[in-house]
Chain A
Amino acid sequence: MTTTAPDTGRRTRRGGVMSSTGLYVATSVAALLFLVPFYLLIRNALSTDPEITGENWKFFPTDIRWGNITEPFEDPTVDFGRSMGNSLVIGVLHTVGTLFVCSLAGYALARIPYRHADKVFYAVLVTLMVPAAVTFVPSFVLVSSLGWVDSYRGLVVPGLFSGFTCFLFRQYFLGFPKELEEAARVDGLGYWGAYWRVVVPNSLNFFAAIATITFINGWNAFLWPLVIGQDPSAWTVQVALSSYMTNQTVNYHLIFMATAISILPLLFVFLFLQRWLVQGIAQTGIKG
């Protein structure tokens, strides 16, 4: 869509009320304000506690304490390393699992003609009305009856069946070129074979966009891991961070370093996958 808008048209609009300089000044001020929390995070993570809590504001630590990086991992009160590991495992399982079940179902709803498909689709649509967070009490009741509290199963499985992700895949597959599938059919592939050999390889952009958003949501999730991870060994990184805030003793540099480390994997995701992410959001309007 962007490319169809003639560039000259956009240029005529420039230089209205706001001159180019004014525009850049305003944008830069806003950008600096948006960066302040990151600045605080990094400054505190690399300082000593007396510097952070000192009488006079220090813009930068007098000497940068790179040694702080290992401290969260050596802290005996909170097993930060383990919580990071848990989050990674859960994030990956959550993403792979969600993509697998939701894309298959989305494909069936979009492309496999079946008499009762519309009824099945309504059963999926109905669940869109109820955000998962609102039903965390009943979900907890179910998961605890299954004995899944404090386990990866309990943390991952209930979150895989997102009606919304399934719906997005259905919408996407409705627009998937039919010729490709027909060619696969001519080559003697059934639905299953055509799906894995033709449809998925030609939809990697869309899968990447949904995967990025799903991973970010899984990594940043808090309510469900808080409810299910009752034993510290099952904490995700978000629950561990949250526990720092209510601890009796506060080690400022340590908890800021831990926060910085917890954000790091997502910054990588952002830097390398931003194109897909932005595309995915613009296309689907879902939250990252």
Chain B
Amino acid sequence: MPTTTTRGVTSPAPAKAAEARPRRGLRGSRTFNFWLFSAPFLIGLAVFVYVPIGWSLYLSFFEARFTVTPSDFVGLGNYREILSDSGFTGSLGTFTVFAAFIVPTTWALSLGLALLVNRLRFMRAFYRSVFFLPTACSYVAASLIWKMSLFNGVRFGLANTVLGLFGVDNTAWLANPDPPWYWLVIITARLWLQSGFYMILFLAALQNIPQELYEAAAIDGAKRGWQTFRYITLPQLRATSTAVVLLLLVAAYQAFDEFFNLLAKTTWGRPPLVELYYTALGQDQNYGKGSAGAVVLTVLICVVTLFQGRIMGFGRGEESK
């Protein structure tokens, strides 16, 4: 790890001794400077990250409606309530369906775009920019375009206009959960928004593949195209692919904006955070139950990220340099 080597070089003397006699008063003291530099961040981290998590742990054991300083201890009651709430458990199901769709499709599309752009000889920057441009849009803006124009349920929506040319009747994309066309709307919106970003990651990885591998394969008689892709490109991209899949999973877990806006006022298609929003901040203002839900979701995501840390290590920033 670079951590140890760096420190070893800058402080040949044991850290204890350095701390015991600061060389140039306060200004040169390492301990003082360490805290001077990191205190603003660490205080903020404690107050705005650690305290809320601790507080919600506390609230989750109390009956707390419309108040954040409750006195009515209910033990695991909130947990029992939230875990038997069909809305909450259903939202975990919604996340599972969502992830099952969005992770593979984004992975494939962004890899496909990266492969295309990587082979271009002219106008490469132009095409890269076009695919990357949607990243500038917010999920709210995309939801608005998707809901009001692209997948508008009446005849002047673009999708219905195009289908109308083939004699297909108007489809109520979002207003009807059966058949669940709303998934098409949600998935395409997110695909459009995030594929360009992951394409950039794949492009960087593609450019790091040593060309000698392809040359050696050509000498060995490997056919260009599928064979080199399957046996050179794909294995060389394994680290990036894994990272992308895990990033996509964590992003899908936090999905809120497009579900909230596209499916406003509906009872179907609620992922965990939307469900939690209505539980804690809706009519009920049930902070106890909402906090229990937040704790459950936090524990679940911790399991995923720990797994992620195992696979990728924490040195993601270093490997690409």
Q: Which residues of A contact B (CB under 8 A)?
A: 1-2, 5-6, 9-10, 12-14, 16-18, 20, 23-24, 26-27, 30-31, 34-38, 40-41, 44, 52-55, 57, 100-102, 104-105, 107-115, 117-118, 120, 123-125, 127-142, 144-145, 157-158, 160-161, 163, 166-168, 171-172, 174-175, 178, 190-192, 195, 216, 219-220, 222-223, 226-227, 238, 241-242, 244-246, 250, 252, 255-256, 259, 262-263, 266-267, 269-270, 274, 278, 281-285, 287-288
A123 to B53, CA, bound (A): 14
Asked if A12 and B218 sit within 8 Å, CB to CB, the answer is yes
Asked if A223 and B256 sit within 8 Å, CB to CB, the answer is yes
Cross-chain contact of A141 among B55, B132, B137, B218 (Cβ < 8 A): B55
> Would A137 and B301 be within 8 Å (CB), given that A17-B226, A168-B317 are in contact?
no
Within 8 Å CB of A38, what residues of B? 133
Of B53, B140, B276, most buried by chain A (CB within 10 Å of CB) is B140
Asked if A266 and B136 sit within 8 Å, CB to CB, the answer is yes
Within 8 Å CB of B309, what residues of A? 129
Q: Give the total of B residues in contact with A, Cβ under 8 Å.
A: 130
Q: Which of B159-204 contact A (CB under 8 A)?
A: 161, 192, 194, 196-197, 200-201, 203-204
Within 8 Å CB of B7, what residues of A? 113
Within 8 Å CB of B264, what residues of A? 245-246
B272 nearest CB neighbor, chain A only: A134
Within 8 Å CB of A104, what residues of B? 37-38, 40-41
> Would A241 and B140 be within 8 Å (CB), given that A53-B156, A123-B45, A281-B200 are in contact?
yes
Would you give the shortest CB distance from A266 to chain B, in whole angstroms? 4
Cross-chain contact of A219 among B30, B138, B149 (Cβ < 8 A): B138
Within 8 Å CB of A255, what residues of B? 144, 148
Cross-chain contact of A282 among B150, B161, B200, B218 (Cβ < 8 A): B200
Within 8 Å CB of A288, what residues of B? 135, 197
Taking A113-B15, A263-B141 as given, write out 6 further A-B residue pairs in contact, using a Cβ cutoff of 8 Å, ordered by the A residue number.
Answer: A134-B273, A141-B291, A172-B317, A174-B6, A174-B318, A227-B277
Within 8 Å CB of A16, what residues of B? 224-225, 228
